[in-house]
Structure 1
Amino acid sequence: MDVNLQFWSTEGKSFFQRFLHWADILDPTVLLNSNKKIEKSRLLLQTNAQTLQEPLQDKKVKEAWKLSLSSVHPGTGEIIPLVFRPPAFLPLATPLLFASLLPHRGAKQAIIWQETALPQKQLLMCTGAVSYSACMGAFPYFVMTQHKLSGPMQTFFKRILPIPLLACLSVFNVMIVRGTEYENGIEVMDKNGKVIGVSQKAGLKAVQETALSRAALFGTAVIIPESLLYFLYRTNFLLRNPHALTPLRLVMTVSALGAMLPVSFSVFPQLGEIKRDDLEKEILSSTEETELFYNRGV
């Protein structure tokens, strides 16, 4: 079992544990470390068995864990490309999410921003999936411009509908990006880290859990700023200070997304569990273990 998964097997049993670790791991300054330093950290963790038993007692060891967990794929042991590492999620996703929520002059402009608001698609999603997501994301703006809505209907399409729509598109995005995991399956292992087999059911469970957490992340990250801005509108603060709208929206978006990111990553364990009876028949015949484990991913 990879050392990263060994870490989560002991340090990620409760939501609160996972949340504290992710709040530390997601520090964007971790991205400034070189690959050479990351490799040295991995070597330290792999050669010092004591660090696996007491992973957070030593400052140097704690820093090594932070680099390893934030930069190395536990399935392959390879260093993750910079833009796909968890600490890069916030600085990359925030401006794209913020831009996609800004008022647009027309449906064409909305489609462009909705396409760029899907950072995970790069090199992974097919053109058809991207186009579908972009069009669905721009749907509320298209309806408003075509039918010249006003009053409650305009409020619904402008402020309410984009929230569940963005959450659904987040689920769709994850399902497409990680489609090979439930089509081909992922490795399942026993408590000692021995790989028992490859399971499509475990792959589907891992993708579903990640998709749900991502929907909660983006849905909540939109609800909080929009709700606060709604109350500010009712106090006439923004009517008296119209130039404050954009910086306020930006600050609220960054704060909401930053606060929700470790929550989203912590909802489900990194080292997922699946019951033996829920697996394929060929795996059932390979082990007597009642529970098996898999890498959920992020």
Structure 2
Amino acid sequence: MDSNLLYWKSQGQSFLSRVQTWVNLLDPTLLLSSDAEIQRAHSLLQGGEKSEKDAPALTLALSSVHADSGAVLPLVFRPPALLPISAPLVVASFLPHNNVKPALFWQFLLQSYSAGFNYANRNSSSEQALPQIFINRLGVRSAPVQTFFRSILPIPLSAALAFFNVFTVRSEESETGIQVFDSNGNPVGISKAAGEKAVRETALSRAALFGTTAAVPNLLVLLLQRTRLFQRNSLLVAPLRHMSVAFVLGLMIPVSFSLFPQLGTIKKEKLEEELQAAAVDGQLFYNRGL
């Protein structure tokens, strides 16, 4: 088991501890480290006890090295790059576009980047904007109906797109299975059940990320538009929406990454029969991916 997974096994089992860890790992300045520095940091952590002086190396390795292969992740698909790259794409995607083309363009860029991020951070042991289309095609003129399509429908739609993005990109893990480990970190076989659980958990975490990012700013704008200040100064709505989307996205990235343990567990009774004997402690471990 890689040193990154061993860390999550000992330190990442509570939600609050995972949030605290991810806040540190998402520091964009970590992207300035070279591949050679990352590899040295990862090598330093292989085996042995970790001391406080190893904390910077541990942070660099956890944020930049794939937990299965031990390879350095591509720069743009490392966790610290997610907010700087996706924030402008998310802001642009959640705008109430008046035309179909820009809505499709920004949603395509966002989902394409999400697919690349999901694929790069998968478990490697297995090796259209509908709201505006509806408005245009149906000739909707009612203000409440337009509000529904532009402000309410994007919330479940964004969550569903993010969920199915993960399911599509990482479908191989569910079909062929992923590596599972015993409590000592020894690989004991390939499990389809663990693969399905890993993909499902990651898909739910990504749905929570983009669904919440769509929901909170829209709700905030709908509430503030009823106040006198925003009724007199309608130009304040757009910058408020943009800033709130970026702010909520920044808050939700570490929260969504922490919803499920990075080193997941699967109970003995959920495993394939041929692997149940290896679960001497009643469970086996697997790398959920990110």
Aligned residues between the structures: 280
* Cα distance change, pair 124–167 in 1 and its aligned pair in 2 (3 A): closer
**In the alignment, is residue 120 of structure 1 matched against residue 114 of structure 2?**
yes
Structure 1 stretches (4+) deviating beyond 2 angstroms?
120-125, 236-247, 284-289
* Cα distance change, pair 157–287 in 1 and its aligned pair in 2 (3 A): closer
Q: Which residue is equivalent to 1:141?
A: 132
- The percent identity for this pair of structures is 47
1:202-281 equivalences in 2 (<5 Å): 202-281=194-273
Q: Which residue is equivalent to 2:176?
A: 184
Task: For residue 234 of structure 1, give the secondary structure of its aligned residue in structure 2.
Answer: coil
> Aligned partners of 2:277 and 2:15: how far apart in 1?
33
> Aligned partners of 2:117 and 2:15: how far apart in 1?
32
Shift of 1:285: 4.7
> Aligned partners of 2:232 and 2:279: how far apart in 1?
69
> Aligned partners of 1:232 and 1:288: how far apart in 2?
56
Amino acid at match of 1:144: I
Query: What are structure 2's unaligned runs of at least 5 residues?
Result: 120-127
Query: What are structure 1's unaligned runs of at least 5 residues?
Result: 52-56, 126-133
Q: Which residue is equivalent to 2:95?
A: 102
Asked if the contact 1:196/1:287 (under 8 Å) is kept, the reply is no
> Aligned partners of 1:172 and 1:102: how far apart in 2?
22
> Aligned partners of 2:188 and 2:217: how far apart in 1?
46
TM-score (norm 2): 0.91
> Aligned partners of 1:123 and 1:98: how far apart in 2?
18
> Aligned partners of 2:31 and 2:278: how far apart in 1?
41
> Aligned partners of 1:78 and 1:236: how far apart in 2?
55
* Cα distance change, pair 220–4 in 1 and its aligned pair in 2 (3 A): same
Task: For residue 104 of structure 1, give the secondary structure of its aligned residue in structure 2.
Answer: coil
Shift of 1:238: 3.4
Q: Which residue is equivalent to 1:131?
A: none
Shift of 1:38: 0.8
* Cα distance change, pair 139–96 in 1 and its aligned pair in 2 (3 A): same
Amino acid at match of 1:120: S
Asked if the contact 1:189/1:196 (under 8 Å) is kept, the reply is yes
Shift of 1:150: 1.4
> Aligned partners of 2:76 and 2:256: how far apart in 1?
19
Shift of 1:248: 1.8
